[in-house]
Amino acid sequence: MLSLCAACVGPTDRTFVTGRILPRQIRFVTIVEAASGKAGGWRAACIHIRISRDNTGESILCRFGIETPLHNVEGPISTALAQRIAADRINEATQAIFSSSTMASPLGMLCESVKATLRTTVPASIAGSKVPAVCHERALPVHFGDFTL
């Protein structure tokens, strides 16, 4: 588990994100092998991020999957590339969403905003990718926390 503070309250009640998810922490599992030289195949990862409110103890677990093809119209996609892109997009989404949040921002809404952002940015980075609300049954959850507000 990675321990970091993703949204810390400063003296001005602004929130900011510290720490980063590293590419090697995203664990993809191959769901469907790709046919040799053809677009296809599939890999999935499961992400669980604990988001907590420091002043009340309120906490939620933000869960989602990241699924990418092994080979798309642009060519093969290595696991390392998929990990780097997933980590980069998650870091960018949490930075953008949590840095604009306040102590009154509903935690569930922050989670949904992160997922909505990822549903746009991940497929834009790897054609054919998706960010489902529910993780694939074969993908083991990777836990990140605490993202504290």
Q: What is the pLDDT of residues 4-38, one digit of tens each?
A: 344 444 444 544 455 679 999 999 999 999 887 77
- Segment 95-130, tens digit of pLDDT: 899 888 888 889 999 999 999 999 999 999 999 999
> Hunting for tokens 């990718």 — which residue is that?
129
pLDDT at 19: 61
Task: Measure Cα distances from 77 to 2, 40, 69, 71 in Å.
Answer: 26, 10, 7, 5
Rounded to the nearest angstrom, the gap between the alpha carbon of residue 102 and the centroid of all alpha carbons in its chain is 21
Buried b (16+ CB within 10 A) or exposed e, 64-81: bbbbbbbbbeeeebebee
- The number of distinct structural domains making up the chain is 1
pLDDT at 54: 73
Cα atoms found within 13 Å of the Cα of residue 19, Cβ hemisphere only:
16
As given in the structure block, the two tokens for residue 75 are 């060519």
Q: Give the pTM.
A: 0.84
Task: Measure Cα distances from 74 to 5, 23, 110 in Å.
Answer: 36, 21, 33
As given in the structure block, the two tokens for residue 2 are 């990675």
As given in the structure block, the two tokens for residue 22 are 């590293």
Residue 56 identity (one-letter amino acid): T
Residues of the domain holding 32: 2-148
